[in-house]
Structure 1
């Protein structure tokens, strides 16, 4: 028998292995695959917005006011003659520009608090968590509306306010995991080996406690997109002529009664699809990252 016949089969290339891995994840969680496809489409639209937008999203044209969808203006124009399609495309950039920083701020504030309170326990845990619970008692939109109105309707203020309001969610998730982990054998072994507290927390506990928080990031990003659009719709978030979906819906709402439906419907549809995609992505991530939830669903 020749040496060629005895040679082992060639290993598949890296792209083939990646494709097989992704196909396996899609089979295990179709919800995640659909959500990821929706968010990937919006991400591509946001990244390439300057090149794929047919017109300047803030260029007013008095000669093209409230034109219906047609060739050359596929989504029509708004009350200022701005191209709705270009504004919807650029609106995805602002949606990601709010959702991602809000999640980062929430994680940076909530994770350390949950890690410390879960490990420390006692009165410090009670005081800190009761303070965080107080933030969750008030309806998020009312509290965000009041704080943003007082601080000013800028993008930075919206991101900081929403991130701080969302941090108790991550703190609760991480704290619950720390409470379950701190009595584990590996933690007792680390303590017995003389590891300092900071090493135990950040080297041994934190990587295991982050699973639940990371699974919730997509869902909380959907919350951030929805609340920021609501603030803009109410007039206290990002202000026109910035191409933000909530502000566009607010501008288009007044034209619905006169039949110019496209001004509000297209940004509203984009908002619904992005929130739906993020929620589906988050639900699929929760199934993959939380074996207990997956087992309970069977």
Structure 2
């Protein structure tokens, strides 16, 4: 037996043991991870799972009831709702992941710097961030996307910028608690420059809170993008995005075609539930005080 053949079962055993360990330590995180993982796999393998092209129209099959031919029925354009719901997971992650990464890129360095420097810079920065949070995020996002134009890129940029103060505040709070610690004092006494203290000693400890928030903020990003699409200023028809599908289906609810809006709405709620469970579980795992 070759070394590669031996190593593969070992890797599988390690992965299995880690998954079991996660389930024991935080069942909430494990369930959330399973839900998010299923949606991610569905989005990745959507062309293999779906029976039809998500934007292909069947002119003679408009508003067909759910059944054996069209599992979730068809919409007002004659498009297969099941295929569109599965492909919609791609757009959910395509918006949430870049938006959260952009928020981290903006918020984490900002929180690190102002938290460590303190003084007037900290006060001014926090007041500016407070001003951004005074206005409802959906109103700001609605105004900016309406002005910039409805596209995935604009939605990602708006959500990423609007959510960056959350990560800045989380990281700043951690830095404020750490900057007077023995670890930082020892690093200063050893002659470490400021950039090294911030990047080597503070960042690895301060970023845990931000990472724990990332799944929750991803759920928020998906909700905001769906709300923008529902209001008609986000992603547009015929893109298979859940908010667009819910907006299309809302007009048919009163005439009895409930399935047009129901299935994308259920998918949206389940994914948001999974992300929130994952985020809450991550906070339990990364914060010993919460576990206690």
Q: Which has the larger radius of gyration?
A: 1
Q: After superposition, give the CA deviation of every residue in 1:199-235 in whole Å (9 maximum; x if it has no partner).
A: 1110111001001000000000000001100000000
Question: What does 1:90-105 correspond to in 2, within 5 Å?
Answer: 90-105=87-102
- Whether 1:87 aligns to 2:84 is yes
SS in 1 for 2:255: coil
Q: In the TM superposition, what are the counterparts of 1:125-136 in structure 2 within 5 Å?
A: 125-136=122-133
Where do 1:251-266 residues align within 5 Å? 251-266=248-263
Confirm whether residue 170 of structure 1 aligns to residue 170 of structure 2. Answer: no
Bigger shift: residues 270-279 or 141-150: 141-150
Shift of 1:193: 1.1
Distance 2:31 2:196 in 1: 39
Matched, 1:18 2:20: no
- Displacement of 1:97 after TM fit? 0.2
Counterpart in the other structure of 1:123: 120
TM-score (norm 1): 0.94
State the shift of 1:21 in Å. 2.2
* Runs of 4+ residues over 3 Å off in structure 1: none
Correspondences of 1:41-56 after superposition (within 5 Å): 41-56=38-53
Number of residue-to-residue matches in the alignment:
284
* Structure 1 spans left out of the alignment, 5+ residues: 1-11
Superposed counterparts of 1:131-150, under 5 Å: 131-150=128-147
Is 1:276 aligned to residue 273 of structure 2?
yes
TM-score of the two chains, using structure 2 as the length reference: 0.96
Kindly indicate whether residue 224 of structure 2 is the aligned counterpart of residue 234 of structure 1: no
**1:214 pairs with 211, 214, 231, which one?**
211
- 1:113 matched to 2:110? The reply is yes
Tell me the distance in 2 between the aligned counterparts of 1:291 and 1:274.
Answer: 27
SS in 1 for 2:56: coil
Unaligned runs of 5+ in 2: 1-8
